[in-house]
A and B are shown apart, each in its own frame.
Chain A
Amino acid sequence: MKIELLCALIPLFPLIGFLINGLGFRRVPKGLAGAISTVAVLASFLTSAYLFGAFLGNANLSGNAGPLIATLFDWISVGDLHINFSFQIDQLSLLMLLVVTGVGTLIHLYSIGYMSHDEGFGKFMAFLNLFIFFMLLLVMGSNYVIMFIGWEGVGLCSYLLIGFWNKNISYNNAARKAFVMNRIGDLGFLLGIFMLINTFGTVEYVDIFKQATSLAVGDKTILAITLLLFVGAMGKSAQIPLYTWLPDAMAGPTPVSALIHAATMVTAGIYMVVRSNVLYTLSPLTLEIIGGIAIATALLAASIGLLQNDIKKVLAYSTVSQLGYMFLGLSATAYTAGMFHVITHAFFKALLFLGAGSVIHAMSDEQDIRKMGGLRKALPVTFITFLIGTIAISGLPPFAGFFSKDEILAHVFEHNKLLWGLGVLGSGLTSFYMFRLLFLTFFGEFRGTEEQRHHLHESPATMTAPLVVLAILSIVGGGLNLPGGGWLSGFLAPIFEGSKQVSPEAFAESTIEHSTEYILMAVSAGVALVALIIAYVMYISRQAVPAPESAERSLPEQVIYNKYYVDELYETIVVRPIRGLGDAFYSFGEGLVDGVVNGVAWVVQKISAQLRLLQSGSIGFYVLAMVVSIVVIFALRFFIRL
């Protein structure tokens, strides 16, 4: 089959699913709507898998692992600038395709169960399909503008899904906040694209990276471009200072949190940096800045996660923190490790969110872990899979998260010992808040109401099946890239050829002894284990339950519990001043400008006071006179040629 057709089919399936369910909302029966949307994504997954196989086969046969470009049509063309609507199939996009459509299929399946009682079911499935469509454009585009279509499109879907239950004003506010914060990032991204156009004359990845390999490391223009693009990544991947939308985004239904706000969309920033790896390798200063922001984000979010009591909020802060780890890896030019963590994180974080959804479903929409406890007996499948997810994210061997996080930390160690130390500290925090969550939810005594206890039930098979699949992936996912030259490193290597060319030293073979590497692994696993034990002692042995909202808190606790008052800070320094400015412009600015205009009019009026005697003062008369004269002149001159 032709490559163009195959490529076009991948995003086309979910788009068709969206159109059927969207246009046929309330007319397509629920069962059919769920099936259509899930099959649409499954079809994309199978097509991607076929393409993956074909690509591997092709690469093995001819030894040519170069990208395949499928151009559909000329999208925007002005002068010498041509922006094609085209897709690029290479190792990186294939990997993302499989993750997005694979995890996407599971979450669609889960949603059939989770959302079955919702009156907006068909609309929900349609939006999920639309999201997949845009996410696929994002990862398949062969140039930055197509990526930007996907980039903004997923933002729109995120908005629509966060505010899905739109009768609730605070959900709507969360949705709007997400969209606007993302737009701030998008402005950076857009300006980055403009600089790329003005520097390279094109937006195509292949052409830009080919030209870029001839530039020197530390190029000023590249510095500006990479920083601007990273502003986009800050918005989408929730890094300081643009992270506060992500915890609020938990207002959306839980499958949305799993799909968009954990597994796929929020990793778009990492994808973008990895895609642009040549540019980032050319700009070590940008990488340093990313490293600083990444570790700060990872620790800040992890520390907030320690005291949160909403099951989804804990996971949300955990996501922000894990995204920080991914960027931390990128900042040490460990691009493969970053992508590796993207993949494993997609597995275990999707698993954890879906598990949380299963809990919320069973608890009749209760999300406060202070009112849970002891759920392991009622929800055995959810419990076992959630446990697996928790171990995986905490970085305990031999589950997936251990390998990916360890690979990041190993590279960071080579690069900067301080960052490594902070990274290990963060992984301790991760382990603590995750086990705290696990223990408070599934162990101890049930703390909910009698009615909730009566209602407790394990979720239906459409919900537990995805949990089981994701749990298996979370266990074995580490096998993708075992230490010492795993499959993923070899597979992705062609993507980083350009980077190796511009900065061979950044990709030199590791100088760390194997013994050191084992010690590093042992240290990070040990820290995670210690954190686990502390959590165990606190929440199982001593059966501590977090204090209620009204309790007195010590000052540091108060600050962390209130998320360092960052939202309040933004409200004070950005939102309120703009509102004030709006009011001031409207009441004073407009009055002032208009006053000048009226003043000019007044002067003119005074000057022409004498001439006024000739005028009747009736505007109707003037207009009439004008119309008549125009018509007369026109007619005379046209028909009676002079």
Chain B
Amino acid sequence: MLTLFLILFPAVAATLIFFLGGERAKQAALLAALAELACAGYAFFSFKPDASSQFAFDYPWIGSLGIRLSAGIDGISVLLVLLTGLLVPFIVLSTFNRTYKQPATFYALMLFMQAALMGVFTARDGFLFYLFFEAALIPIYFLAAMWGGDNRIPVTFKFFVYTIFGSLFMLIALVYLYYQTPPTAIAAHSSAIADFYKLNLTPQAENWIFWAFFIAFAIKMPVFPFHTWQPDTYVESPTPATMLLAGIMLKMGVYGLIRFILPIVPLGVETWGKTAIILSVIGIIYGAIIAIRQRDMKRLIAYSSFSHVGLMAAGVFSQTETGMQGALIQMLAHGINVVGMFFVADVIFSRTNTRQLDQLGGITQSTPKLTVYFMIMLLGSVALPLTNGFVGEFLLLHGVYTFNHYLGLAAGFTIIFGAVYMLRMFQKSMFGPTTSRTESFTDLTTSESWVFIPLVVMVFWIGIYPHTFLKVTEPAVANLMKYIGTTAVSMK
């Protein structure tokens, strides 16, 4: 039942704020998101580390067709539920010093988005998943199209059409899978994801279903070469929307790979997994090299996110336990780091009215707080040991390296290029002499600091004691490994 609450509560709160919010929409949204965080946190800490689905609900929906309203939290979802609960309140808080027109609508959309994301990460029915997967697009589309930058209309249109287009392939695959399921006691077929896992598909079917799902998820993440909507959308969207997109929404893609592709079409993965890894690794390097040359902070972070997510996809397709665990913990870590990074860009933009690195510099001279938080988020992003990024990247790279030494080496370049573009961004904005735009830079306000503080706590918590998070996902990952036929860390 807790799951139902996690999905419905933000939606109800959003509706109330939309109609009654008025001037206090901000505060109301923050309260609602904090309450949701408390629930998500409760779910995380009371989650029993086994492979089962917990806090679940299950109602008939379209009874005659065997389609059910069924959702729950298992080891694969639990970190993403936590991430969704964790990030939204601080994304809301990050807007406290900014003014957005029509605040009631703005904050209502953010909470609607949260409800849809919670639905995506907990749905246990294929069609329910699809519904939430698409529903999540609507609030983010409005956020970007109504509050975005000058070029927002064509950019968000492309984003919208591109991702909808991708999901259509998934819909076809879902319908096909649905018709393959054997009759149940009450209906001719079943759309429960667990029933999809039991199917014995023909190799041909596995191959095309692999691609149908892969394209849908690859666009969402995005994986090279399906990424061209992403940098523009991240840059044009208002920063809170960018944070939702990069922090949480792109994880829908990685989550989809783990939830659908690996267990449903293991043969497809065997045949095409290497292709998928190669695309992902190309994306890692391609995105990183482009990031090195970017001048706009937001665009730079967008490309870095594109590069990082490639590693997660590669880790998933490595079909190793380390790769899978790495992907799960890295989704959490990346969400935290990327939100922190975009917030840094937002803070700088709010004071200098620019995100161009060559117009910045010397900010550190007047901002001890921002410098420290920026540095810590950066260290997380470049995967320094004892920060959150390291645990994920270490496991992911081990997975990819175990899959194939050369691909592992190529993927490993992320740690070098990552350091290059991140340190370049830090140096050009924070160090050196001040410019006309940065000479009167003021340090973080209290509410801004409070956006960073929980993120920083998470950076070190995950980095120093990842056991808290790895142990809850471990049984589910071990269970998942059964479907793909390999076990544990491949050794010897």
Residues on A close to B: CB < 8 A? 25-26, 73-81, 145, 148-149, 152-153, 156, 159, 163, 166-169, 172-173, 176, 179-180, 183-184, 186-187, 190-191, 194, 197-199, 201, 578-579, 581-583, 585-586, 589-590, 593-594, 596-597, 601, 619, 623, 626-627, 630, 634, 637-638, 641-642
Contact = CB atoms under 8 A, between A and B. Distances in A.
- Sort chain B's interface into a size bin: 35 or more
A637 B424 contact: no
17 contacts: A76-B395, A77-B471, A79-B478, A80-B488, A148-B385, A149-B386, A176-B424, A180-B419, A180-B420, A183-B419, A194-B402, A198-B491, A199-B492, A583-B293, A597-B162, A597-B228, A641-B63
Contacts of B427: 163, 172-173, 176
B491 A80 contact: yes
A194 B364 contact: no
B94 to A, nearest CB: 23
A134 to B, nearest CB: 9
B415 A156 contact: no
Contact of A589 (B286, B419, B420, B488): B286
Interface string B471-492: 1001000100000000111111
A567 to B, nearest CB: 17
A190 B384 contact: no
B293 A152 contact: no
A194 B293 contact: no
Interface stretch (B236-244, B335-343, B405-413): B405-413
Nearest to A596: B225
B250 interface: no
A517 B318 CA distance: 56
Nearest to A181: B416
Nearest to A184: B416
Nearest to B393: A190
B160 A619 contact: yes
B415 A77 contact: no
A186 B430 CA distance: 26
Nearest to B299: A586
Nearest to B385: A149
Q: Which 3 A-B pairs give the minimum distances between C-beta atoms?
A: A582-B293, A79-B488, A149-B385
Interface of B: 59-64, 69, 131, 134-135, 138, 141-142, 157, 160-162, 224-228, 231, 286, 289-294, 321-322, 325-326, 362, 364-365, 368, 379, 384-386, 391, 394-395, 397-398, 401-402, 405, 408-409, 412-413, 415-416, 419-420, 423-424, 427, 430-433, 465-467, 470-471, 474, 478, 487-492
Q: Is the interface of B mostly helix, strand, loop or mixed?
A: helix
Contacts of B420: 176, 180
B418 to A, nearest CB: 8
Nearest to B419: A183
Nearest to B481: A79
A199 B325 CA distance: 20
Nearest to A186: B415
A575 to B, nearest CB: 10
A618 B119 CA distance: 28
A190 B386 contact: no
B125 to A, nearest CB: 12
A562 to B, nearest CB: 25
Contacts of A593: 224-225, 227-228
B155 to A, nearest CB: 12
Nearest to B382: A183
A579 B225 CA distance: 21
Given A153-B384, A176-B424, A582-B292, A76 B394 contact: yes
Contacts of A79: 321-322, 325, 474, 478, 487-489
B321 A627 contact: no
